[in-house]
């Protein structure tokens, strides 16, 4: 049907070009708001009426006549109707809709994917400092980042996944001192332990684990580093390096459990050691984009749309946190990434204007609006009807691994992607493990497994070969339920494209739930393994195509498509 739609679109463009030179470029179809009105619609006549100074209804009549004379419309279209002031509704013949089944089965895992474009993009996500286990907010970020990467890969982009973190700084110093206190035998609640709301200490049990392994002289490995402890209780710097490596290893375990892999780990400290931070400050000073006031160095960020100028270097000589961010994003541009997406919490909203201002002021050729940001809210966790706020392991929050262990990787991914990133979300643990239609991931996976069961029964009874289904006669697929299912399959590629443009993997979850519901309705309406071989093979082809699209969509989300449940 995609090829059919393309033929019809080309004919529409030709007809528009005939009516008004240049108008062909505006040819487009949309879905009618009411399914009974047709399968495709165009508002082209109403858009052209004003510049041509013609009655839109009459222009629609002229366009309808031209379309009905075109060979693709005669072959694939059952009716072209005009509604209201000039809407054109197009009703396809069943054989036009049936083509999508063949297209899905032929393209298989590649259905919905676009050819490589040669464009490169970097997605930075998770980027948690190694001061503790990953919490459920990091989990939402991991799910979002990975799914957005997968979405853009379907659109032909060369996608690079990066994890950026600070291995020095105040938080890492607190990690080291907390580990040293544990190594000396102190614990939260002791007189020697820092107390109070803003006390510089990490209280989770994982700090005791780090201290014990440090004293034992163990070696820890992570994706980006390895370190062996000296066991010296007074070597605070040694303890810091060990603790960072230990927690990076722990984060790797969290990410492995979640099925997320990164191409690179980028250290904030490297920006200072390489001189990139100082270089960008000098660049901004030389460009006249800074000034001194009250002992601090300021960026003229209001020149680039910020609500006020921002301090770059404080009176004590240290840089504010957005300065290394500017240096870091210049490295992204210099590494050839024309598109960059940052997945961060909503608490980073204030960073956007100042980072973009710094990049424009640096005048290194970076386009306005670079980078893109996807901001997400935190996640509430409910179990047994009550909110869960504390993990014994972490000390003050629910970890990502807790959530996976309570439910499953598939449930966590699907649930965390099922809402727009900037909307509040409550993760219901009990719902995530429920085996019923109220559980959205179960509902979608069950549709896939149900189809696999039908196909397996067919193979066992008839010795059927699924690869041959792409060549069967599809003419029996004429029922309203079958046609509705085929139309929905045809929407998958354009849904992927729109979801990528909007950084909206939640659209994939909505689509999959709709597709599962449509399949269940079809299954309830028509038996598949009937006696008539022609009808049976056509219906098997349709459900096999549905299983393929369910599989492809779940893969974008990083969720499995089980064959049995």
Phi, psi at 180, each rounded to 5°: -65, -40
Asked if 510 and 539 sit in the same domain, the reply is: yes
How far, in Å, CA of 28 to CA of 22, rounded? 14
How far, in Å, CA of 40 to CA of 253, rounded? 48
Has residue 295 been placed in a domain?
no
Has residue 363 been placed in a domain?
no
Question: Do 239 and 183 contact (CB within 8 A), yes or no?
Answer: yes
Has residue 331 been placed in a domain?
no
Which residue range forms the structural domain that includes residue 441? 99-114+437-557
Asked if 472 and 552 sit in the same domain, the reply is: yes
How far, in Å, CA of 149 to CA of 28, rounded? 28
CATH number at residue 540: 1.10.730.10
- 223: Cβ contacts below 8 Å, ≥ 6 apart: 248, 252, 262, 265
Has residue 326 been placed in a domain?
no
CATH number at residue 36: 3.30.1360.70
Has residue 421 been placed in a domain?
no
Q: Please list, residue by residue across 505-515, b when 16 or more beta carbons sit within 10 angstroms of its beta carbon and e when fewer do.
A: bbbbbebbbeb
Question: Do 374 and 380 contact (CB within 8 A), yes or no?
Answer: no
Asked if 451 and 537 sit in the same domain, the reply is: yes
The radius of gyration of the chain from alpha carbons, rounded to an integer in Å, stands at 29
Structural domain count of the chain = 3
- 505: Cβ contacts below 8 Å, ≥ 6 apart: 143, 144, 147, 148, 151, 417, 499, 556, 557
Asked if 85 and 103 sit in the same domain, the reply is: no
Asked if 468 and 543 sit in the same domain, the reply is: yes
Asked if 190 and 86 sit in the same domain, the reply is: no
Asked if 463 and 509 sit in the same domain, the reply is: yes
Write the burial class of residue 230 (CB in 10 Å: 0-12 exposed, 13-18 middle, 19+ buried).
Answer: middle
Q: How many residues does the chain have?
A: 565
Asked if 103 and 88 sit in the same domain, the reply is: no
Global pTM value = 0.91
Has residue 533 been placed in a domain?
yes
Of 252, 281, 308, the domain-final residue: 252
Question: Do 181 and 193 contact (CB within 8 A), yes or no?
Answer: yes
CA atoms within 13 A on the CB side of 436: 4
Asked if 445 and 549 sit in the same domain, the reply is: yes
How far, in Å, CA of 560 to CA of 485, rounded? 22
For residue 187, what are the CA distances in angstroms to 213, 350, 391? 16, 36, 17
Of 191, 222, 252, the domain-final residue: 252
Phi, psi at 481, each rounded to 5°: -70, -40
Q: ∠ at Cα 139 (134, 140), nearest 5°? A: 145
Question: Do 39 and 487 contact (CB within 8 A), yes or no?
Answer: yes
- 161: Cβ contacts below 8 Å, ≥ 6 apart: 122, 123, 125, 145, 146, 149, 260, 261, 262, 263, 264
Q: What does 305-342 look like in DSSP terms, one character per residue?
A: T-SS-EEEE-TTSPBPTHHHHHHHHHHHHHTT-SEEEE
Asked if 193 and 83 sit in the same domain, the reply is: no
Q: At what angle do helices 236-258 and 136-154 cross, to 10 degrees?
A: 60
Of 252, 275, 298, the domain-final residue: 252
Has residue 525 been placed in a domain?
yes
Asked if 103 and 47 sit in the same domain, the reply is: no
pLDDT tens by residue, the chain, 565 residues? 778 888 999 999 998 888 888 888 888 998 887 777 888 999 988 888 888 888 889 888 989 999 999 999 999 998 999 988 889 999 999 999 999 999 999 999 999 999 999 999 999 999 999 998 899 999 999 999 999 999 999 999 999 999 999 988 889 999 999 999 999 999 999 999 998 777 789 988 899 999 999 999 999 999 999 999 999 999 999 999 999 999 999 999 999 999 999 999 999 999 999 999 999 999 999 999 999 999 999 999 999 989 999 999 999 999 998 999 999 999 999 999 999 999 999 988 889 999 999 999 999 999 999 999 999 999 999 999 999 986 555 567 888 999 999 999 999 999 999 999 999 999 999 999 999 999 999 999 999 999 999 999 999 988 888 889 999 999 999 999 999 999 999 999 999 999 999 999 999 999 999 999 999 999 999 999 999 999 999 999 999 999 999 999 999 999 999 999 9
Asked if 530 and 474 sit in the same domain, the reply is: yes
Of residues 559, 554, 550, the one with CA closest to residue 447: 550
Write the burial class of residue 158 (CB in 10 Å: 0-12 exposed, 13-18 middle, 19+ buried).
Answer: middle
Has residue 260 been placed in a domain?
no
Question: Do 161 and 261 contact (CB within 8 A), yes or no?
Answer: yes
């Amino acid at each position: 049907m995609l090829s059919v739609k393309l033929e019809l679109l080309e004919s529409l463009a030709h007809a528009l070009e005939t009516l008004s030179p240049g108008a062909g470029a505006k040819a487009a179809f949309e879905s009618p708001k009411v399914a009974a009105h047709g399968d495709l619609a165009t508002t082209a006549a109403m858009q052209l009426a004003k510049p041509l100074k013609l009655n839109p209804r009459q222009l629609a009549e002229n366009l309808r006549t031209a379309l009905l004379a075109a060979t693709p419309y005669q072959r694939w279209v059952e009716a072209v109707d005009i509604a209201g002031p000039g809407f054109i509704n197009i009703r396809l013949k069943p054989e036009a809709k049936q083509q999508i089944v063949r297209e899905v089965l032929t393209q298989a895992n590649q259905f919905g994917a676009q050819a490589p474009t040669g464009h490169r993009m970097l997605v930075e996500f998770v980027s948690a400092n190694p001061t503790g286990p990953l919490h459920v907010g990091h989990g939402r970020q991991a799910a979002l980042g990975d799914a957005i990467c997968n979405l853009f890969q379907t659109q032909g982009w060369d996608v690079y996944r990066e994890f950026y973190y600070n291995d020095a700084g105040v938080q890492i110093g607190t990690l080291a001192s907390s580990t040293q206190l544990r190594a000396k035998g102190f614990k939260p609640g002791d007189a020697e332990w820092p107390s109070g709301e803003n006390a510089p200490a990490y209280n989770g049990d994982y700090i005791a684990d780090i201290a014990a392994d440090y004293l034992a002289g163990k070696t820890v490995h992570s994706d980006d580093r390895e370190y062996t402890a000296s066991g010296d209780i007074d070597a605070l710097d040694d303890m810091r390096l060990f603790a960072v490596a230990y927690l990076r290893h722990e984060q790797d375990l969290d990410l492995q459990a979640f099925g997320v892999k990164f191409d690179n780990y980028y250290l904030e400290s490297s920006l200072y050691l390489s001189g990139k931070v100082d270089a960008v400050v000098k660049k901004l000073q030389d460009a006249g984009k800074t000034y001194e006031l009250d002992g601090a160095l300021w960026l003229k960020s209001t020149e680039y749309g910020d609500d006020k100028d921002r301090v770059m270097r404080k009176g004590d000589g240290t840089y504010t946190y957005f300065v290394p961010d500017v240096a870091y994003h210049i490295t992204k541009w210099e590494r050839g990434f024309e598109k960059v997406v940052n997945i961060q919490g909503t608490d980073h909203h204030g960073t956007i204007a100042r980072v973009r201002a710094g990049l424009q002021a640096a005048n290194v050729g970076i386009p306005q609006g670079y980078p893109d940001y996807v901001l997400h809210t935190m996640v509430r966790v409910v179990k047994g009807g009550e909110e869960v706020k504390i993990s014994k392991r972490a000390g003050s929050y629910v970890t990502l691994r807790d959530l996976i262990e309570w439910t499953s990787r598939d449930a966590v991914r699907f649930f965390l992607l099922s809402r727009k990133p900037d909307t509040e979300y409550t993760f219901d643990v009990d719902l995530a493990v429920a085996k019923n239609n109220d559980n959205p991931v179960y509902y979608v996976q069950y549709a896939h497994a149900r189809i696999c069961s039908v196909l397996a029964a067919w193979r066992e009874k008839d010795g059927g070969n699924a690869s041959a289904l792409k060549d069967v006669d599809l003419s029996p697929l004429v029922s309203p339920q079958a046609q509705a299912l085929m139309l929905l399959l045809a929407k998958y590629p354009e849904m992927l494209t729109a979801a990528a443009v909007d950084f909206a993997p939640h659209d994939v979850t909505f689509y999959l739930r709709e597709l599962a519901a449509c399949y269940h309705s079809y299954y309830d309406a028509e038996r598949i393994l009937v006696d008539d071989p022609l009808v049976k093979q056509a219906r098997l082809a349709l459900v096999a195509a549905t299983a393929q699209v369910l599989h492809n969509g779940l893969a974008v989300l990083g969720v499995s498509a089980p064959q049995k449940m």
